[in-house]
Structure 1
């Protein structure tokens, strides 16, 4: 899953793709580089980010989706927690809703997903982007997030969203300390065993800078290290900014026995 943020303030690439033509060019290149999904977002969910109104968020993502829908051969995912934004994105050609609130932030989101028979990515987040890093605490981070994902999977099925359309995401960096993130990554196989596709979104995040000891260092190689580890543990969707290095690394990792 290639990340395409059309925002001014996302933590890593904010402002990089604000012009529609730039965003379209990057998305097409991601597909050429081997991406299987393009995930387009118009609101930053980094820690302490500002809330964006639905109309502004829509104005950012819709022109890009409209231009890409007839040119990409891979699915477009809309990264939003607002049903209004998701509906307009689906009308424009998106096929997946990627919701950091686990379809709980907007009471209309679940029904929209059911009615439109689209894929959904259901993520765990403790609190909101504005509060999630205010001393996040767990008694057992793996067990608690596993329980939450099972509950959300069952809730989606109860309202008529088919299991084969549901992807689960433990929410790396969303209301977790650096150690929580590492603990969750080491538990990837346990989340895979829940039986739904698992999405891991670790790309360029703060725990990586913490581990390599330099907040200003390029995080591509370190992100690749995590990508290979979670792929080996069975994660089916790896959400990254740098598609080509990831695809190349996975090809060679698989060819040399890493995914066996």
Structure 2
């Protein structure tokens, strides 16, 4: 069982986490959901499309405009409260590395803290434990938030991702976060070259074999763009190919921009694996 705040999911359920950026400079949507009403419309849309989780972020992951603590709080806390009031059945995740933001959004109704910078602020784990929230353990190789990778190297990137995320999960467990509320994320593109992200995808079964549920954030990322030599707005097909491979290897949660297409890929892979029955089966049976 996977427990995300007040919500629980069976172990064979593959979950879609839709990205909702309260930022002006997102690499993909270019600020389309910065305004609160536009962001709420996006939440309504992705929930209608079948997303079980919405991941709300107030700071762009990479370099960009400076967003201090007060501004991140302004972008996230009240919005989380609005989503919680209108959509009580959706899992609310907040993408942050600051414990002050984590505490405030949990009090406003968030279920999951998506620590995109891998324990950079160690108090964020304590916040998750205090609020009985779920927590994502991300592999960033100790990188500083919002700094791009530069000439990064590993003896074995998959081994490093496993060791670091499992260690973080065990630290969270010791702090009081429930075992069923912890996920690990290899963090494609974060402190990784395209070669590293491709290898992590190819060997993702080694991460799922740890027994910790795995979250992947693949959507329209640079490793897809560099592999296929495509700009950001033409990376959907490559993203879906990586999604199918990750689903075959057993990843549980998929952080995405395109919900409908992702859900179809996940349903198809689940049916091929024999976990999900086809929606209908009339061919050659009449």
Deviations 1:181-238, CA, capped at 9 Å, x for gaps: 0000111111011111100011100111111122255111211111111011100001
- Equivalent position of 1:106 in the other structure: 121
Q: What is the CA distance between 1:119 and its match in structure 2?
A: 0.3
Aligned counterparts, 1:77-88, within 5 A? 77-88=93-104
Match of 2:133 among 111, 118, 124: 118
- Equivalent position of 2:91 in the other structure: 75
Q: What is the CA distance between 1:13 and its match in structure 2?
A: 1.8
2:250 partner SS: coil
Given the superposition, is the C-alpha separation of residues 119 and 212 from structure 1 closer, same or farther in structure 2, using an over 3 Å criterion?
Answer: same
State the distance in 2 between where 1:214 and 1:21 align.
31
Structure 1, unpaired ranges of 5+: none
- Equivalent position of 2:14 in the other structure: none
Given the superposition, is the C-alpha separation of residues 79 and 162 from structure 1 closer, same or farther in structure 2, using an over 3 Å criterion?
Answer: same
State the distance in 2 between where 1:24 and 1:170 align.
29
- Equivalent position of 1:176 in the other structure: 192
State the distance in 2 between where 1:205 and 1:259 align.
30
Aligned counterparts, 1:3-18, within 5 A? 3-18=19-34
Deviations 1:7-46, CA, capped at 9 Å, x for gaps: 1122212311011111001111111111111000000112
State the distance in 2 between where 1:259 and 1:234 align.
13
- Equivalent position of 1:90 in the other structure: 106
1:214 partner SS: coil
Match of 2:268 among 235, 252, 255: 252
Query: In angstroms, what is the RMSD of aligned CA positions?
Result: 1.6
Match of 2:181 among 157, 165, 168: 165
Q: What is the CA distance between 1:258 and its match in structure 2?
A: 4.6
Structure 2, unpaired ranges of 5+: 1-16, 276-286
Larger Rg, first or second structure (1 or 2): 2
State the distance in 2 between where 1:142 and 1:246 align.
24
Aligned counterparts, 1:198-213, within 5 A? 198-213=214-229
Q: Is the 8 A contact 2:220 2:233 kept in 1?
A: no
Given the superposition, is the C-alpha separation of residues 29 and 130 from structure 1 closer, same or farther in structure 2, using an over 3 Å criterion?
Answer: closer
- Equivalent position of 2:10 in the other structure: none
**1:220 aligned to 2:220?**
no
Match of 1:33 among 49, 71, 75: 49
Q: What is the CA distance between 1:130 and its match in structure 2?
A: 4.2
TM-score (norm 2): 0.85
State the distance in 2 between where 1:259 and 1:248 align.
15
- Equivalent position of 2:5 in the other structure: none
> Stretches of 4+ moved more than 6 A in 1?
none
Number of matched pairs: 257
Q: What is the CA distance between 1:248 and its match in structure 2?
A: 2.1
State the distance in 2 between where 1:137 and 1:198 align.
23
Given the superposition, is the C-alpha separation of residues 243 and 259 from structure 1 closer, same or farther in structure 2, using an over 3 Å criterion?
Answer: farther
State the distance in 2 between where 1:122 and 1:195 align.
14
State the distance in 2 between where 1:129 and 1:105 align.
8
Deviations 1:160-189, CA, capped at 9 Å, x for gaps: 222111110011110000000000011111
State the distance in 2 between where 1:67 and 1:61 align.
10
Q: What is the CA distance between 1:135 and its match in structure 2?
A: 1.0
